[in-house]
Amino acid sequence: MTSNLIVYLIAIPLFSSAVLLLSGRKANKWGHLLGTLASASSFGVSAYLFTQMLAQPAEDRAMTQKLFSWISVGSFNVDASLLLDQLSICFVLLITGVGTLIHIYSISYMSHDLDRRRFFAYLNLFIAAMLLLVLGDSYLNLYVGWEGVGLASYLLIGFWNEKPTYATAAKKAFVMNRVGDLGLSLAIMIAFASMGTVSFAGIKEAAPQASTTTLTAIGIMLLIAAAGKSAQFPLQAWLGDAMAGPTPVSALIHAATMVTAGVYLITRSNFIFDAAPTAQLLVVIVGAITLLFGAVIGTAKDDIKKALAASTMSQIGYMTLAAGLGPVGYAFAIMHLLTHGFFKAGMFLGAGSVMHGMNDEVNMRKYGALRKFMPITFITFGLGYLAIIGIPPFAGFYSKDMIIETALNAGGIKGILLGSAALFGAGLTAFYMTRVMILTFTGTKRWDDDAHPHESPILMWLPMAILAIGSVVSGFLFTRGDALVHWLEPVVASHGHEEHSELLPPIVVSGIALTIVLIGISIAVMMYVRRPIEDVAPENVSALTRIVRQDLLQDAANEAIFMRPGQALTKTLIAVDEKVIDGAVHGVGAMAIGSGSELRKSQTGYVRSYSALILVGAAAIVLGIWVITQ
Amino acid sequence: MNSANYLYLSALLFTIGAVGVVIRRNAIVVFMCVELMLNAANLSFVTFSRINGNLDGQVVAFFTMVVAACEVVVGLAIIVTIYRSRRSASVDDANLLKR
Amino acid sequence: MTINWISLTALLPLIGAVLLATLPKGAELRAKQFAFGTTLITAASAIAMAVQFQRDNTNLQFVEVRSWIPSFGINYAVGIDGIALVLILMSVILAPIVILAGWNEAQGGRWSVKTFYILILVLETMMIGVFSATDVFLFYVIFEAMLVPVYFLIGGYGTGERSAAAVKFLLYSLFGGLLMLASIIAIYVMSGDQGGHTFDIAKLANLEMSSTTQNFLFLGFFIAFAIKAPLWPFHTWLPDAAQSATPGTSVLLLGVLDKVGTFGMIRYCLTLFPEASKTFTPAIIVLAIISIIYGAILAIGQKDLKRLIAFTSISHFGFITMGIFAMTSQSQSGATLYMFNHGFSTAALFIVGGWMIARRGSSTISDFGGLQRVTPVMAWCFFLAGMSSLALPGLSSFVSEFLVLVGTYTRYPVAAIIATVGIILAALYILIPVQRALHGPTTPGNENLPDLNLREKIAIAPVLAAIIALGFYPSPLLNVINPAAAHVNSQIGFTDPVPTVEGK
């Protein structure tokens, strides 16, 4: 049985991770090789499974593998069971494929790091967790992977945690992700309470009978979860800081795979969102806000990785937007997710290659003219650049254009608003990505004298080249004959087929989008080619620029709304605990001591007063008896 | 003669003794007043013995006398010791039990 | 010949304690080895008992009844169900681990090393007894007698203001115990009016009582258990006690003794006073939620590592109490599983934290820093223990916490939603000390701290292994717990809420 192989997808990297973590320093010599091999074997298995699926007719492609009964209490029965269907295989191939490339890249990139073995262990752990996330057949199984990738992300962001800011970034990512997890766990609870099951299949079956209120509640909770994991508004603040991790991590986790898990969640839960229009509306709103938010932040970043991170946030906004548009959008969300996986991972690796040659400098104002020194990096990065801004025939053109089109066709004022947001975002994307290209690769050199830029070794540029090829051809492949749309149909297709009126013919939309992109490019060229670039970001800028540089005040807002009141609350409660609650306890003790010391004063130590008291007491008793007996 | 008169005398003696114990400071005087109270009680016992026509009261009176004799021995010894150590026979000076 | 497994298991440590007392002074190593061996044998005996346990049988098993004080109808009566079995297993497994992990912690005490282990062994006997007693009087006697060894363990071998903490612990517990004693006497008197004086739980459960009486008697028991558990606002003894006690004592205190409180809620509060339990459920759920949030927030603000762990436990006990009183099969099973898992995750935290403190000579979190670089294995163990405490999916505590939450949600959605906020706070109260102690540059003075030695690795390995293994495969425990938990719920007459939509 082919389906028996599914578990090995997860087991191989998980086992390798455990070996690497437990074997200690003696594994330093071969640890990276084992890690890469594990990821590659996992990719091999997934490729084999993919070919097996291709051989089947569309409706028989989904496979499940039940491992064992995980939690079973009363009516709450969750199996440890894996589901490989058309949707998850896309992710599995992306995760293991891009993951293996990044493992290969890391062999060289991390070669000088003392903890390279540990790094590979974490990467393997991540691969295993991410695969579990996309392969779980119930929300609870997904949850394990969901937090597993959060853990791996935490470990990898804080990989160089000697630096306190990096450790803080890791913690911030984990905590903000936990806010999302809160949504996911509540979604599971609501689902179980109302439908008595937490498996995808079970909920899909029960969803049509459930009330819209319930489904909306589940949908909103899932959206919170997706927002936390995918850095969507309002839980987006962690992604920029997450760039503290080594660059391969940023490429794999914070660009290609983990951050897209939210999109997976929404797509996987299509049966809930399709029946909960309010939740769906919120999804598109979140997507639209984030795509603009990320793009705006991206325009002011001087740190190459943070610029790319902002771009990631924005691109996932596109995916979320598409996923929120319902059955017409899911396939495009996944398509953009896959093409984005290629070009953004490629660009991050390119950024890593640049940093590698530049003494880990990340400030783009200290780059310039690197084209001559790093030709391969320039070409691969450039191909990714063309793909992300959506120049035909590169991958991003197909996927992003589809999303813009679908958004415009969503109907009514909603369609126009969403479509314009997507179009405007495309323009911004063109602007900030052009800015990155210009600052990094063209112009005059601005680096310090001790930097000696050089091209990276083959282990690094080969993965970049493969990803670049992917960013060139993948869009074309996916759209040829609507291949991906048809592939995903059994999972995400709506039950009733609905016709959408087209606001504008596709060719016109593409034309408008291209025009806007060109405008964005020209503005960037005007601003950064015509004018000299200063080494230090100019200070005399408008208030708006300053706000954008501070990430539109996202951290300030979080601090003002949550962190400082939280700290105040903690301090208050500690005082209350000491003074009031423990105070009451000690008060009882103090009362006993106090009353004792008061009563002690009656003990004067004078024999005569004692004897007088005895006398009075005796008299009182006699009198008492006399009164009673009378 | 009315037996009640003996009881009145006993009550009077007891009261004098009690008042003496309470108001006098000199340990010897206090001690003598205690003896007075004991003897007042003895007088009552003997009187009741007489009234009831049996010997129980007289027996108890003898016991009391024995106890009183012992008490005198121990008590005087204590008083003398206190006087030796503190150069005073005032009971108010002997307040060590206070703390 | 049948073996009375419970009595055998309970007697083993006691015999060990007596033999230990005959050892000559100064034979410290011998005393440790002997105590360790005794706990191992005890654990083996308990496991042998567990193997024979029939998990689908909801009656009490291994029942043994001997007349003790016939004139008052008091029996030595023991017997266990799935819940008690799981807790006994937890206790006997933790005992050898505690001894091995804290191999040197008895040094520097007020009394000899030998006395320390005698106290531990006596305590172990009582732990087994308290979970298996089916006679209320026997339970009460052990419940109170347990205070004695713990009092001496804290007051004699602790650090800092150990005497004050020990007295506080003792007085707090005695106060609760007295309230319970009053209730026990009342219920005993009532049993006399209704067909013969008895202390047998099964018979007492059938007593006829007016609802007012039931409420008062319930409170007597409940407050005693709420102090023990500890539930807000009866918790203030715990941080002090945990801060002053040795790590091993803290493990036994938080991991096992506090479970007597939550176990008592199930065994006595629910079984003896079902009506009153229903009456007070809303109030108790509120207290539980306050405990969850309050304990978590206070943990976030602690500067002392041991106090921090104590406050996290208050939060965890809130979850357990909430699960018990939500009275759905998921929450009830989850609560018992939670007790077991909390025992292990707190043990891991305290043991590893104790090693860190012993090496550094300070329990202030800010004195650590950069341990990940200096002592990687110890740092990893602490991290893993922390992850277990914040209920990371894939680790054992997640299963129990989620069961409690999902079970509570089906009956008290609002309570479950508020409690879920606790998972965010949990991330904070674990990651903040992790960052301060393990990450960042190495704090001066920590450069030469030694990493875990072989003995310590052997001690912590089974705990961490159990945490991971039971996270992926909790069925062995759940299969034992489920019938017992369901039996408790059915005794009170609660059935699970039915999903609004019938799914498949």
Q: Tens digits of per-residue pLDDT, B36-70?
A: 999 999 999 999 998 988 898 999 999 999 999 99
Burial class (CB in 10 A: 0-12, 13-18, 19+), B73: exposed
Number of domains present in the structure of chain A: 2
Distance from CA of A597 to the nearest CA of B (A): 12
B94, A607: Cβ pair inside 8 Å? yes
Alpha-carbon distance of C60 to C57, in angstroms, equals 8
Looking at A513, A545, A577, the residue that finishes a domain is A545
User: Which residues does chain C have within 8 Å of residue A272's beta carbon, measured at their own beta carbons?
Assistant: none
Number of domains present in the structure of chain C: 1
DSSP C357-388: HHHHT--BGGG---HHHH-HHHHHHHHHHHHH
Residue A211: CB atoms within 10 A of its CB come to 12
Residue among B14, B15, B22 with most chain A CBs within 10 A, to mutate? B22
Q: At what angle do helices A327-357 and A458-479 cross, to 10 degrees?
A: 160
Q: Is residue A62 part of a domain?
A: no
pLDDT tens sequence across A261-301: 999 999 999 999 988 889 999 999 999 999 999 998 888 88
Contacts of A160 (CB under 8 A, 6+ apart): A166, A244, A246
Question: Alpha-carbon torsion C113, C116, C122, C125, what sign?
Answer: negative
Alpha-carbon distance of C497 to A196, in angstroms, equals 10
Residue A536 predicted with pLDDT over 80 = no
Q: What percent of chain A has pLDDT over 70?
A: 98
CB-closest option in A174, A202, A570 to C503: A202
Q: Is residue A515 part of a domain?
A: yes
Instruction: Tell me what pLDDT residue A186 has.
Output: 93
Q: Is residue A421 part of a domain?
A: yes
Residue with tokens 């960052």: C435
Q: State mean pLDDT over A521-549.
A: 80
Do A622 and A475 lie in one domain? The reply is: no
C475, A581: Cβ pair inside 8 Å? no
User: Which residues does chain C have within 8 Å of residue A189's beta carbon, measured at their own beta carbons?
Assistant: 405-406, 409-410, 413, 416, 420
Looking at A521, A545, A569, the residue that finishes a domain is A545
Q: Is residue A440 part of a domain?
A: yes
Q: Is residue C133 part of a domain?
A: no
A residues 379..408 contacting C (CB < 8 A) = none
Residue A407 predicted with pLDDT over 90 = no
Nearest of A366, A230, A389, A384 to residue A304 by alpha carbon? A366
Ranges of chain C whose pLDDT falls below 50 = 503-504
Q: Is residue C29 part of a domain?
A: no
* C-alpha neighbours within 13 Å on the C-beta side of residue A272: 31
DSSP three-state, residue A455: coil
Q: Is residue C464 part of a domain?
A: yes
Q: Is residue A185 part of a domain?
A: yes
| A100: Cα separation from own chain's centroid | 20
User: Which residues does chain C have within 8 Å of residue A18's beta carbon, measured at their own beta carbons?
Assistant: none
Q: Is residue A488 part of a domain?
A: yes
Domain hosting A593: range is: 558-629
B98 membership: H or E segment, kind and range:
none
A318 token code pair: 């596109």
Q: Across the A/B interface, how many CB contacts are shorter than 8 Å?
A: 30
DSSP β-ladder status, C61-69 and A63-73: unpaired
Distance from CA of B47 to the nearest CA of A (A): 20
Q: State mean pLDDT over A398-424.
A: 86
| Higher-scoring residue by pLDDT: A344, C2 | A344
Alpha-carbon distance of C334 to C323, in angstroms, equals 7
Q: What share of chain A is helix, strand, coil (3-state, %, to 5)?
A: 75, 5, 20
CB C416 within 8 A of CB C409: yes
User: Which residues does chain C have within 8 Å of residue A138's beta carbon, measured at their own beta carbons?
Assistant: none
User: Which residues does chain A have within 8 Å of residue B23's beta carbon, measured at their own beta carbons?
Assistant: 608
A70, C473: Cβ pair inside 8 Å? yes
User: Which residues does chain A have within 8 Å of residue B97's beta carbon, measured at their own beta carbons?
Assistant: 603, 605
| A555 — pLDDT class (breaks 50, 70, 90) | confident
Number of DSSP helices (H) and strands (E) in chain A, helices first: 26, 2
Q: Is residue A382 part of a domain?
A: yes
Domain hosting C359: range is: 273-497
Alpha-carbon distance of A93 to A86, in angstroms, equals 11
Instruction: Tell me what pLDDT residue B1 has.
Output: 66
Phi, psi of A339, deg, nearest 5: -65, -40
A71, C440: Cβ pair inside 8 Å? no
Do A620 and A499 lie in one domain? The reply is: no
DSSP letter for A551, please: G
Q: State mean pLDDT over A193-197.
A: 88
| A509 — pLDDT class (breaks 50, 70, 90) | confident
Whether the complex's predicted ipTM surpasses the cut of 0.85: yes
Do A483 and A570 lie in one domain? The reply is: no
Q: What share of chain B is helix, strand, coil (3-state, %, to 5)?
A: 85, 0, 15
Do A518 and A566 lie in one domain? The reply is: no
Looking at A514, A545, A576, the residue that finishes a domain is A545
Residue with tokens 């047998």: C200
Instruction: Tell me what pLDDT residue A44 has.
Output: 92
Nearest of C123, C128, C90 to residue C5 by alpha carbon? C128
Do A448 and A508 lie in one domain? The reply is: yes
Contacts of A424 (CB under 8 A, 6+ apart): A292, A516
Alpha-carbon distance of A198 to A216, in angstroms, equals 16
CB C369 within 8 A of CB A162: no
A175, C294: Cβ pair inside 8 Å? no
Q: State mean pLDDT over A230-247.
A: 87
Q: What is the pTM of this model?
A: 0.88
DSSP three-state, residue A67: strand
Phi, psi of C381, deg, nearest 5: -60, -45
Q: Across the A/C interface, how many CB contacts are shorter than 8 Å?
A: 179
Return mean pLDDT, chain A: 87
The answer, yes or no, to whether C and B have at least 3 beta-carbon pairs within 8 Å is: no
Residues of A within an 8 Å Cβ radius of B: 603-608, 611-612, 615
Q: State mean pLDDT over A167-185.
A: 91
CB C49 within 8 A of CB C82: no
Residue C458: CB atoms within 10 A of its CB come to 13
Q: Is residue C224 part of a domain?
A: no
Q: Which of A39-48, A69-78, A368-377, A398-407 has the highest mean pLDDT?
A: A39-48
Return mean pLDDT, chain B: 88
Do A484 and A587 lie in one domain? The reply is: no
C88 token code pair: 């006994």
DSSP β-ladder status, A76-84 and C74-80: unpaired
Nearest of A113, A404, A403 to residue A245 by alpha carbon? A113
B98, A608: Cβ pair inside 8 Å? no
Residue with tokens 């026979």: B89
Alpha-carbon distance of B54 to C376, in angstroms, equals 98
Q: Name the H helices within C268-370.
A: 271-272, 274-300, 305-326, 329-360
User: Which residues does chain B have within 8 Å of residue A603's beta carbon, measured at their own beta carbons?
Assistant: 97-98
Do A185 and A331 lie in one domain? The reply is: yes
Distance from CA of A44 to the nearest CA of C (A): 26
Q: State mean pLDDT over B82-87.
A: 84
CB A395 within 8 A of CB A475: yes
Q: Is residue C434 part of a domain?
A: yes
Nearest CA in chain A to C373: A162
CA distances from residue A153 to A116, A130, A169, C201, C458 in whole angstroms, order as listed: 16, 11, 11, 52, 29
CB-closest option in B22, B98, B99 to A608: B22
CB A38 within 8 A of CB A124: yes
Instruction: Tell me what pLDDT residue B97 has.
Output: 65
Do A301 and A344 lie in one domain? The reply is: yes
Instruction: Tell me what pLDDT residue C289 has.
Output: 94
Question: Alpha-carbon torsion A117, A123, A125, A127, what sign?
Answer: negative
CB B96 within 8 A of CB A612: no
DSSP three-state, residue A73: strand
Residue with tokens 């949850």: A143
- Touching partners of C (3+ C-beta pairs < 8 Å): A
B98, A604: Cβ pair inside 8 Å? yes
- Touching partners of A (3+ C-beta pairs < 8 Å): B, C
Torsion angle of the four alpha carbons A158, A163, A164, A170, in this order, in degrees rounded to the nearest 10: -10
CB-closest option in C329, C431, C440 to A175: C431
A64 membership: H or E segment, kind and range:
strand A63-73
Residue with tokens 């919120």: A282
| A496 — pLDDT class (breaks 50, 70, 90) | very low
Do A584 and A493 lie in one domain? The reply is: no
Contacts of A614 (CB under 8 A, 6+ apart): none
Alpha-carbon distance of C252 to C269, in angstroms, equals 23
Q: Cis (ω within 30 of 0) for the bond into C230?
A: yes
Do A283 and A210 lie in one domain? The reply is: yes
Contacts of A214 (CB under 8 A, 6+ apart): A190, A194, C500, C501
CB-closest option in B22, B92, B98 to A611: B22
Residue A473 predicted with pLDDT over 50 = yes
The answer, yes or no, to whether A and C have at least 3 beta-carbon pairs within 8 Å is: yes
CA distances from residue A242 to A156, A170, A348 in whole angstroms, order as listed: 9, 7, 13
Do A501 and A579 lie in one domain? The reply is: no
Q: Is residue C490 part of a domain?
A: yes
Do A570 and A610 lie in one domain? The reply is: yes
Residues of B within an 8 Å Cβ radius of A: 18, 21-25, 30, 91-92, 94-99
CB A178 within 8 A of CB C423: yes
